[in-house]
Chain A
Amino acid sequence: MIRHAISNLNGWLAILAIVLSSSAGDVLLSRGMKQIGDLGELRRRRSVTFVVLRILRNRYFLLGVACMAVSFYSLLFGLSWNEVSLIGPAAASLTFVANAFAAKMFLHEHVGRRRWAAALFVAAGVVLMAL
């Protein structure tokens, strides 16, 4: 019983870590990639090496990757304690909602009713699919 409680606690700690680090990573990566510009357009005008170097020199991209690494290892930690059917959907659905808030606050994206509805529908749908 104690082992079950520890397993649950570690699972939810992992979910919290995944949601926070993943949302921070998504916001940083999105900001970095907007600074770099449309990769398809860039590739038509420049070499692959130029585009790769341009991405690797962007500090938002590097910070975003660091956050994603934390999120990845939190996922591995969570998966070692709990079922993927809990960790995956719970982390994914909470990340959808957290990202909508973060994108509005930090990226100044226009999150209108359509996008709020999309985030909530997808978050709810992901949870139901795991039941």
Chain B
Amino acid sequence: MNLRKYLVLAGVSVFAPLGDSFLAYGMKQVGNISLRNIPDLLLAIANPWVGIGIIFLLGFFASYMTALSWADLTYVLPASSLGYVLLALIARFALHEQISLTRWFGIALVSTGVGFVTSGPELTGRPPQHLANDGTVATEHS
């Protein structure tokens, strides 16, 4: 793991909760959508908050794809869940919201889980494939 890879994981962590928060705010403005009016979901993206949420989620997607190109899925998902902790800490120290004991315990559990997975290797199983000089895919066999 190097700095670039840690920055990619940080991107996954930060963009996802921010995107979800903007989406939630926007969907509260859009209102309930019944199963009979499913096409209305397509119109929901016209809401500016939903639009901002989608932009953050595109940032998340780009970071996520990059992380998955060099690390296992079972490494990337827990490692990037630090975003939940980040959101709670912002709520506590920047927005001065009260955080219950249960929520602090949740933060501790997520942090422990992240610690478990990041102290191990990021890639197991089959090695990644690389481009050969002629542009074709070559698989490394051990």
Q: Which residue numbers of A lie inside 8 Å of B, CB to CB?
A: 10, 26-27, 29-30, 33-42, 45-46, 55, 68, 72-73, 75-77, 79-81, 84, 88, 92, 95-96, 99-100, 102-104, 107-112, 114-115, 117-122, 124-131
| A35–B70 CA distance with the chains assembled, in angstroms | 10
Interface size of B by CB at 8 A reads 61
Q: How far is the CB of A9 from chain B (nearest CB, A)?
A: 10
Given contacts A128-B105, A131-B102, contact A37 B130 (CB under 8 A): yes
**Residues from 23 to 51 in B contacting A, C-beta threshold 8 Å:** 23-24, 27-28, 30-33, 35, 38, 41, 44, 50
Q: A100-B74, A119-B113 are in contact. Are A39 and B66 (CB under 8 A)?
A: yes
For this complex, 30 residue pairs linking A to B, each with C-beta atoms less than 8 Å apart, are A10-B35, A33-B68, A33-B69, A34-B69, A34-B128, A34-B129, A40-B4, A41-B130, A45-B131, A76-B23, A76-B50, A79-B24, A81-B32, A84-B21, A88-B24, A99-B77, A115-B117, A118-B113, A119-B74, A120-B113, A121-B116, A122-B81, A125-B106, A125-B110, A125-B111, A128-B102, A128-B109, A129-B103, A130-B106, A131-B100
